[in-house]
Structures are given as C-alpha cells and as structure tokens.
Amino acid sequence: MTDMIVPLVDVRKRAFVPSIEPSAASRQNTLGDTRHRRLHDLRISVTDRCNFRCVYCMPKEVFNNDYPYLKHDELLSFEEITKLAKAFVSLGVEKLRLTGGEPLLRKNVETLIGMLAELRTPAGQPVDLTLTTNASLLAKKARALKAAGLDRITVSLDAMDDTIFKKMNDVDYSVEQVLEGLDAAAAEGFNNIKVNMVVKKGWNEDQVVPMARYFKNSPHIVRFIEYMDVGTSNGWKLDEVVPSKEVLSKIHSEVSPLVSLEPNYQGEVAQRWKYADGSNEVGVISSVTQAFCSSCTRARLSTQGQLYTCLFASQGHDFKALLRGSVATMSDSDGDEALRNAVANVWGARSDRYSEIRTAASFPSDRIEMSYIGG
C-alpha cells in the first residue's frame, strides 16, 4: 500500500471580496445560479485541525507538526458564523452542516449549535442542523450536542477490520471506539445516523461487504464514497477509485439484493438503495464516475470565512473581510442586507461543473484542501 504525496499548495488566503451591491437575485428568497441550481445546503468548517491523519484527506507527510494551522483570531467567531448563516437561510438554505477538520475539536462547538438552532427559514421553519465527525469525541459530546439542538450526525468509518481502519486513519484509532461513539449518539436520541466509508482501491475495498453486513440490520445507514481528487495533498490517482457500480454489485450479490430509492430532496448527492427484504438502506456517492454537478445545491464556508461554490475550487470569496470591514460599521439590518447581497451575487454568478469536465488537463494544481472546507 504505497501512496504518492503531492506537496501542498497553500491557497487559503486567495480570495475575492464579494460585492455587496443589491441585485435582483438578492431580493428573492430562493437563489439560482447560471445553471438554475438553487442554493439549499451550506457546509460550515469550524476548524482546520483534526486528530486523525486519514490517507485520503490529511496525510501525515503533509499535515505534520510543522504544518501552519490557522491561528484562533483567523477563525470566524461563533457570532460571525451565525450572522453569515442567517443570510444564507434567508435566501433559501434549509440545511446547515458543521464540518472540519474534526468539528468536535472546536472548543464549545455546542454553543454554536445552539445559536444556529434558533435560525428560521422565510417560511418560519427551523433549519436541518447536522454535523460530520470521526466520532473520536462523540461519546463525550453526544449529550451536549443533542441538548444544544443538533438534529443529525454523520460518522466516518472506513473499515470494520481494525488493522485496516487504523492504517486508514493513521493514528491507531480503533473501530470499537467509533462504534462506542455511535452507540452514545443513538442513546441520546439521534436517529438516522449516517456512516460514511471512503473506498480507496488497494486499501479498503475488501471492507465494503463487511460494512454492509454489519449495518444492514442496524438503525444506521452506511454510505460508500468514491475516493475523490479534493485538494492536492493526497496524491489522488484515478486508478485508485472504486466505482460505485462495483460497490453496489458486491452488496447486491454477496449481502442482499438491492432496490433503488428516490432521493430525499432535489440535489441530494447520495444515490439511495434499499435491501429487498426491507431491513435497511445503503447509499453511494459517485462524484468521480457519475458527476452530479447539474444538480449540486451546496456552498461551503471555510474555517476563516471564505465561501467556495465547488468542492474542487481553487478560489474563494472572502466573507470575513466583509464581516470585519464594511459590514462591521453598519447597523444590524444594513449589515444583514449587505451579506444577503454578497451571497446572492456570488451564487448568482456560479457556473462550476468540475466533475463533469474532469480530465488530466482540467486538474487545477492548486485546489483547496478537503480538510479546510469539509467533504
């Protein structure tokens, strides 16, 4: 199991400050971009730090003791995150997901969850508030997260075999510890927990069937994710991708026949399948072999306040500069309107379709890292 690590190009400070001039789009409650894709999901990275060194995300060769992580004053504060999220929700966002790095490493993250849980859509409905975690701190934090208003949790687990999982996370963290976190979350009342497995050829593809079997009769839903070319630090190669159709074929033939399901909402990235015996469902996320650019409804806010309209972007939009610059001098209502305008202007100009045109020639050499904006 050898891997090529590409030197990291730091593009974290490369960003435009978006315009706050009013536009027709900013006066609407639901936005569309140049391809008529609505804005529905906002992923919010609350820290660039993680206590895992997963080979497909933050390999030790790059993210070592010398890596220049962001300083505390470079991060968005909870108040700034909430102010920005309010603008997004007012323009049609219905789902907020906290990511990292590992979001539970952000001190007092449950305080932020409580603040975001108070937001309401234009129709007066609460937002769908979710969090993705490696579960290392989940047993300790589950009760506080639930009490703060978190709705759902997604947990990363890349193998059922302990040796393989430890090789994947590269910090000697065990499968049993992840399962303890899952049990703690379920005990606190979290339902429909998703378990994500990144499948990388030569590393853990033989764990697809054991994962499916383990979770088939559990209350949790496992999803298999194609190994993606996010950032440049993981040395991604196309021949290390295990296509989702192969994953589904293995499950269908070795675990139980599968029947396709409709998506939960327009723009959902996971393709859903249920077991024919009705025991559970599984999902696959096929961003390499079956691009879903045409229906992508996600925006991503980085740890230091840059907005990215594509997971594979190399250029962000600097909302922290607005929050600590011109917006800071405005009244609350004027500041809220300025941020609404900025979001509308960025999303309205969006034309991203990286996965649809993925070729060797199209690979930007300076893509932003997954650990900086969340997966």
Q: Is 121 or 369 the better-scoring residue by pLDDT?
A: 121
Helix, strand, or coil (residue 258):
strand
Q: Domain for residue 266, yes or no?
A: yes
Asked if the model's pLDDT at residue 245 lies above 60, the reply is yes
Asked if the model's pLDDT at residue 361 lies above 50, the reply is no
Q: What is the pLDDT of residues 261-295, one digit of tens each?
A: 998 877 788 899 999 999 999 999 988 888 778 88
* 273: number of Cβ within 10 Å: 19
pLDDT of residue 4: 47
Q: Domain for residue 118, yes or no?
A: yes
Nearest to 351 by CA among 33, 77, 67: 33
Q: Which residues contact 302 (CB under 8 A, 6 or more apart)?
A: 12, 45, 308, 316, 368, 372, 373
* Mean pLDDT score, 347-361: 74
Measured distance CA(157)–CA(196) in Å, rounded: 6
pTM score: 0.90
Q: What are the structure tokens assigned to 14, written together?
A: 């490369």
Measured distance CA(47)–CA(83) in Å, rounded: 18
Q: What is the pLDDT of residues 310-321, one digit of tens each?
A: 887 778 999 999
Contact of 298 with 33, CB cutoff 8 Å = no
CATH of the domain at 342: 3.20.20.70
Asked if the model's pLDDT at residue 234 lies above 80, the reply is no
Chain centroid, CA 148 distance in Å: 20
Measured distance CA(335)–CA(331) in Å, rounded: 6
Contact of 310 with 354, CB cutoff 8 Å = yes
* Mean pLDDT score, 205-213: 98
Q: What is the pLDDT of residues 143-191, one digit of tens each?
A: 999 999 999 999 999 999 999 999 999 999 999 999 999 999 999 999 9
The C-alpha angle 18, 23, 26, rounded to 5 degrees, equals 85
Q: Domain for residue 8, yes or no?
A: no
Helix, strand, or coil (residue 96):
strand
Q: Domain for residue 273, yes or no?
A: yes
Strands, E, within 15-87: which ranges? 15-16, 41-45
Cα separations in angstroms, 305 against 48, 89, 164, 256, 372: 12, 16, 35, 44, 11
Total domains, the chain: 1
| C-alpha dihedral, 247 to 97 to 111 to 220, nearest 10° | -30
Q: Domain for residue 6, yes or no?
A: no
pLDDT of residue 93: 95
Q: Domain for residue 4, yes or no?
A: no
Asked if the model's pLDDT at residue 230 lies above 80, the reply is no
Q: Domain for residue 9, yes or no?
A: no
Contact of 101 with 303, CB cutoff 8 Å = yes
Q: Domain for residue 263, yes or no?
A: yes
pLDDT of residue 269: 83
Domain of residue 119, residue span: 15-373
